[in-house]
Amino acid sequence: MSHLTSRRGLLFGAAAVSTGALLAGCTSNESSDDEPAANDQPAADDQPGKQVTIGFAGPQADHGWLNAINDNAKSRAERYSDVTLEITEGSNDTAAQIGQIETLINKKVDVLVVLPADGKALTQVGLQAMRADIPVVNLDRIFNSPQAYRCWIGGDNYGMGLNAGTYIGEKLKGQSNARVIELAGLDNLELTQQRTQGFDDALKNYPNIRKVARQAAEFTVESGQSKMAQLLQAQPDFDALWNHDDDQGVGALRAIEQAGRDDFLMVGGAGALSAFEAIKQDDGVLKATVLYPPTMAASAIDLARALGQGKGVGGLAEFEIPASLTLYSAVVDKTNVDQYMSTGFK
């Protein structure tokens, strides 16, 4: 997962439906009564059109969010009678993923959707596809060169931290000398640093709040449990916790329950179904989670189909799809959890 800073083309306000409303003109096989776009031409034909073969290459689904990425891509493609999805076996080995993408290029697929295991390492194969006149939809982890993709779509890691910090800040703004802690993800990933930076920047707006501890975990249940246990032992008194990832949050909640702690509020990250269910039940410390929506993979299929059929995006005046789409990291709490429940991943 990677945050795009300098190339944010559009910021979308409803992460749960991803780009659904704006992409409606290029995502449905059903007819629509929408008005034509400002250029006097509908941005996309809602009826089944030219057959499009989309090659999809992602990393190994060894994490709930990554598995949800694959599921969203497959289920979206199945909606379309004019789409054939050629999907590779996911791999975290960059050489293996490069080979899989080269195979798709040799098959002459119409469009590629790629979530690279390593954006920098796979930039050259993105360039190879583009030079072969196969447009690339770069999903989330960004290639080093904008020449390696036609469109980038992904989440906002800085925005995750910013919105988590703002939510906690508003909950604690009436409290003097409030203390917060942070359970981060893998510190060798840029996305982790971006989430932390956003969180810290948000807390600057709340002088009554001080971050007293930060521990990095590894986006797994096991690491979440062990690192949270360490935090609880080291910090007997704090008011709020931000956990970067709902998968590791399962472990963190186990540690919290084992320690018998319920004297603080917790905010998660990503949008797992288990987190939504806990928020809805509202009988524990988890009060909210900040989205990093895997529905972006469904929208990537929508964009790939539009590219393959030479369409634009419904709701925009331009003939072409945008160069980049940054999804919004909405905060989900008990006031709106029902709206997002169907998007939760296991």
Query: Same CATH topology for 24-155+293-329 and 157-291?
Result: yes
Q: Give 253-310 pLDDT, tens digit per residue.
A: 999 999 999 999 999 999 999 999 999 999 999 999 999 999 999 999 999 999 999 9
Task: Name residues whose C-beta falls within 8 Å of residue 345's C-beta, 6 or more positions apart in sequence.
Answer: 64, 65, 67, 68, 71, 270, 271, 272, 273, 294
| DSSP letter assigned to residue 239 | S
Domain ranges, ordered by start, for the chain = 24-155+293-329, 157-291
pLDDT band for position 9 (cuts 50, 70, 90): very low
| CATH 3.40.50.2300 is right for the domain spanning 157-291 | yes
Inform me whether the pLDDT recorded for 177 exceeds 50: yes
Binning pLDDT at 50, 70 and 90, where does residue 46 land?
A: low
Beta-bridge partners for 267: 242, 288
Lowest-pLDDT range of 8-12, 43-47, 309-313: 8-12
Range 24-155+293-329 has CATH code 3.40.50.2300 = yes
pLDDT value for 68: 94
Which H, E and C letters describe 41-65, residue by residue?
A: CCCCCCCCCCCEEEEEECCCCCCHH
Q: Which pLDDT score, from 0 to 100, does residue 28 have?
A: 39
CA separation for the pair 8, 172 (Å, rounded): 31
